[in-house]
């Protein structure tokens, strides 16, 4: 037992001496430095561009679209990914996408369980996008991949959103361009955002902006309006528009009214989401003020001129009381809204601000 213990102790001493020699020679430090450099290179390799393309029954153009996208994005010299979202296609769209994916590792596929609509397809792509710049476009080649570098340049110039503008549309005037112009004019006037073309999907975003926006319904065309709450810097650039003969127009008078209602709802949420008392309290105060003035006038008539309220001014008396009660209810509604907003922000991770960038670091030694 004693001899065995001596042998183990001798072995431990040799190992310790060997480690000391390696340390003196700098071998271990060199290996650690190489490991740190390798980790640093992996961490510094950030994906720069994500292109999100919702697809629905577009099997005929997929090969051409993939080839043109790859050529354009390779020409930018940036790292990128192309995210195709199959929105429940009923043809061989997904099969064609998988064939193209086998030929390029930069292609990622998302297959939805059914047809959820363009907004939902874009939301799925945005949620999985990892690039610092996120570019959305249609998958039927009415948006030219060759226009993508123009979006990248403007994002690099400091804009948060770059929106495409189909300045020279090739679509029929009455069935598409006229209803679209009416809708775009309404959206621009009501939102206060000077864009000529809200409807196009061809837009580019900084990732931190698009990650803070939650899409639902048909709100993809209103992303600039949603982003205005984040004080996003928006730029509009002209793009080429290729007419698609097989595409049916989605714009008509009914569609214009739907857009109007969506915009009213968005403006209300953007302006009063965080301060409902400002809206309902103001309405309640005005109602109480008018009702109170009318009631004072009726009291004046009663006691100065001897006119009975119910005999000579009954409808006006009832109207004044109704205004006062409605005003009080509006104020209560505003207070309830404030309570709901407080509960919403305290129970979720939604921020009331949006950070553009931060500068400077604080090391662990500085933390007391």
pLDDT for position 26: 53
> What's the mean pLDDT in 269-288?
85
pLDDT for position 299: 86
* Residue 86, strand partner residues: 55, 111
> Which residues, in sequence order, are CB contacts of 110 under 8 Å at separation 6+?
83, 84, 85, 86, 124, 125, 128
Express each pLDDT in 294-311 by its tens digit.
Answer: 999 888 888 887 777 777
pLDDT for position 153: 96
Residue recorded with tokens 């509006």: 330
> What's the mean pLDDT in 178-184?
76
User: 364 pLDDT exceeds 80?
Assistant: no
Express each pLDDT in 225-245 by its tens digit.
Answer: 888 778 889 999 999 877 655
Max distance between CA atoms of the chain, in angstroms, equals 125
Express each pLDDT in 125-136 by its tens digit.
Answer: 999 999 999 999
Express each pLDDT in 123-176 by its tens digit.
Answer: 999 999 999 999 999 998 889 999 999 999 999 999 999 999 887 776 666 666
> What's the mean pLDDT in 256-268?
72
- Please report, rounded to a whole number, the percentage of residues in the chain having pLDDT higher than 70: 74
Q: Torsion-angle region of residue 306: left (phi > 0), alpha (psi -120 to 50) or beta?
A: left
255 versus 2: which is more confidently predicted? 255
Range of lowest pLDDT (77-81, 102-106, 170-174) = 170-174
Model confidence at 38, in pLDDT bands (50, 70, 90)? very low
- The dihedral of CA 321, 326, 327, 328: what is its sign? positive
Distances (CA, A) of 263 to 89, 121, 183, 198, 225: 29, 21, 10, 11, 9
Rounded to the nearest integer, the mean pLDDT of the chain is 79
30 versus 156: which is more confidently predicted? 156
55 three-state secondary structure: strand
Model confidence at 43, in pLDDT bands (50, 70, 90)? very low
Range of lowest pLDDT (215-224, 282-291, 299-308, 354-363) = 354-363
49 versus 224: which is more confidently predicted? 49
pLDDT for position 39: 37
Range of lowest pLDDT (221-235, 242-256, 339-353) = 242-256
pLDDT for position 125: 93
> Which residues, in sequence order, are CB contacts of 335 under 8 Å at separation 6+?
277
């Amino acid at each position: 037992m004693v001899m065995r213990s001596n042998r183990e102790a001798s072995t431990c001493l040799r190992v310790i001496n060997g480690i000391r020699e390696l340390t003196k020679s700098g071998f271990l430090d060199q290996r650690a430095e190489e490991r740190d450099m390798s980790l640093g290179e992996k961490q510094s390799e950030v994906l720069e561009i994500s292109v999100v393309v919702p697809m629905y029954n577009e099997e005929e153009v997929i090969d051409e679209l993939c080839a043109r996208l790859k050529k354009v994005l390779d020409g930018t010299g940036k790292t990128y990914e192309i995210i195709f979202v199959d929105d429940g296609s009923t043809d061989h769209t997904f099969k064609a996408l998988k064939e193209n994916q086998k030929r390029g590792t930069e292609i990622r596929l998302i297959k939805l369980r059914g047809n959820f609509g363009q907004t939902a397809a874009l939301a799925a792509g945005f949620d999985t996008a990892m690039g610092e710049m996120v570019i959305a476009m249609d998958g039927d080649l009415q948006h030219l991949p060759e226009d993508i570098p123009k979006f990248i340049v403007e994002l690099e110039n400091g804009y948060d959103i770059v929106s495409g503008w189909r300045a020279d549309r090739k679509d029929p005037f009455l069935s598409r361009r006229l209803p679209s112009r009416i809708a775009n004019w309404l959206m621009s006037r009501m939102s206060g955002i000077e864009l000529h073309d809200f409807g196009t999907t061809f837009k580019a975003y900084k990732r931190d902006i698009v990650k803070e926006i939650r899409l639902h319904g048909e709100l993809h065309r209103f992303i600039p309006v949603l982003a205005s709450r984040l004080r996003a810097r928006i730029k509009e650039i002209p793009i080429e528009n290729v007419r698609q003969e097989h595409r049916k127009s989605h714009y008509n008078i009914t569609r214009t009214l739907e857009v109007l209602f969506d915009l009213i709802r968005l403006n209300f949420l953007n302006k009063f989401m965080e301060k409902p008392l400002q809206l309902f309290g103001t309405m309640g105060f005005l109602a109480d003020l008018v009702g109170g003035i009318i009631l004072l006038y009726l009291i004046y008539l009663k006691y100065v001129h001897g006119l009975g309220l119910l005999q000579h001014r009954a409808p006006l008396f009832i109207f004044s009381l109704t205004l006062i009660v409605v005003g009080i209810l509006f104020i209560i509604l505003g207070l309830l809204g404030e309570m709901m907003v407080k509960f919403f922000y305290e129970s979720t991770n939604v921020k009331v601000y949006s950070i553009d960038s931060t500068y400077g670091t604080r090391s662990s030694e500085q933390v007391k």
